[in-house]
Amino acid sequence: MSAPLRVGLIGLGVMGRNHARVLSGLDGVDLVGVVDPAGQPDSAPHGALLLETLPDLLALGVDYAVVACPTALHEEVGLALAEAGVGALIEKPLADSVEAAERLVAAFESRGLVAGVGHIERYNPALQSMRTRLEAGELGEVFQVVTRRQGPFPHRISDVGVVKDLATHDIDLTAWVTGQDYVSVCAHTVARSGRPHEDMVAAVGRLSDGSMVNHLVNWLSPLKERTTVVTGLRGCFVADTLTADLTFYANGEVSTEWEVLRTFRGVSEGDMIRYAIPKREPLLVEHERFRDAFLAGGGDIVTLRQGLRTVEVSAAVLESAKLGETVTLKAPEALGAL
């Protein structure tokens, strides 16, 4: 039996502690050290060493590290890991700017290192099932994707606004479940909490297959909601990622002899099915996939290039809101080599 992978963690905030919990029980992995300059000596999770600096962690010898520090530090930490030849699972968003994300992609790719981005919604059971069913053509042609992500303000977030912190979830999952890329976006943002960043965004977009996208995201609501609705030729899928439930609402197939209704070529209400699906913790699945990809040299993870694309789309959302006009995105293949 091979020795466990030696893994480090950078950042011991709310998400960092969740990463530490999962890593401490993950087969084939040994959490050897956690970097958190503000951490207390007695707060080291699960017996791992609590360290003050990244060089302290690198001195222990790690195979890969999980980056869960503030977004503004992702580039600095990521580049240091790449320079040391260490793989990385970087929390979303990949970086706080397109340029920083590009530099991270170049650093890891040029060294042939395994690296990924922690877009955890891809591992939500409801969205996993939805994607499989969309790939199988169960919905037919897709017309529209609508996401709603709202709830109370997360006081742990201080360095980015709602677009980079929350809307990046919806941007990534929309492209992933549909297999399509963003072509254009038009957005409006507001700031009502007194912080320097936006705390509400409404965005409309178009995907490469012509389907429409709508995102409503805020952290100003007492109602916590995480919903993705995909409407297509045969009905719609509704995924609730808080409960990991997936429901299908079918178009009705009951014919009518009422001439007035027959002339209306819309749809009618049909059967509703809530699927019974296995519900494993998304963060655990994310870590299992990354561990396996690291051992195999690549696999089913969110790549840095995919993370870069999400940063590009989020930047376009903010640009659209600033300019008050629709922003057209360059196709990924037209962006040039990094």
Paired strand residues for 72: none
What pLDDT, on a 0 to 100 scale, did the predictor assign at position 254? 58
Question: Residues 62, 6: contact at Cβ < 8 Å?
Answer: yes
Helix or strand or coil: residue 48?
coil
Q: Which two tokens stand for residue 284?
A: 């655990």
Output the pTM of the full model: 0.91
b or e along 25-52 (b: 16 or more beta carbons within 10 Å of the residue's beta carbon)?
Answer: ebeebebbbbbbeebeeeebbeebebbe
What pLDDT, on a 0 to 100 scale, did the predictor assign at position 43? 63
Q: Which two tokens stand for residue 51?
A: 């360290």
Neighbours of 269 (CB within 10 A): 11
Residue type, position 55, single letter: P
Q: Which single residue is written with the structure tokens 């912080």?
A: 195
**Dihedral through CA 87, CA 91, CA 93, CA 98, nearest 10?**
-20
Question: Residues 94, 310: contact at Cβ < 8 Å?
Answer: yes
Question: Residues 249, 270: contact at Cβ < 8 Å?
Answer: yes
- Grouped pLDDT means (10 residues each) for the chain, 338 residues: 91 93 96 84 73 95 96 96 98 97 98 97 98 97 97 74 95 97 97 86 98 96 96 97 97 64 61 94 98 89 97 98 97 53
Helix or strand or coil: residue 205?
strand
What pLDDT, on a 0 to 100 scale, did the predictor assign at position 333? 56
d(CA 241, CA 169): 11
Residue type, position 211, single letter: S
What pLDDT, on a 0 to 100 scale, did the predictor assign at position 335? 44
d(CA 71, CA 137): 37
What pLDDT, on a 0 to 100 scale, did the predictor assign at position 155? 67
DSSP secondary structure code for residue 265 in this structure: -
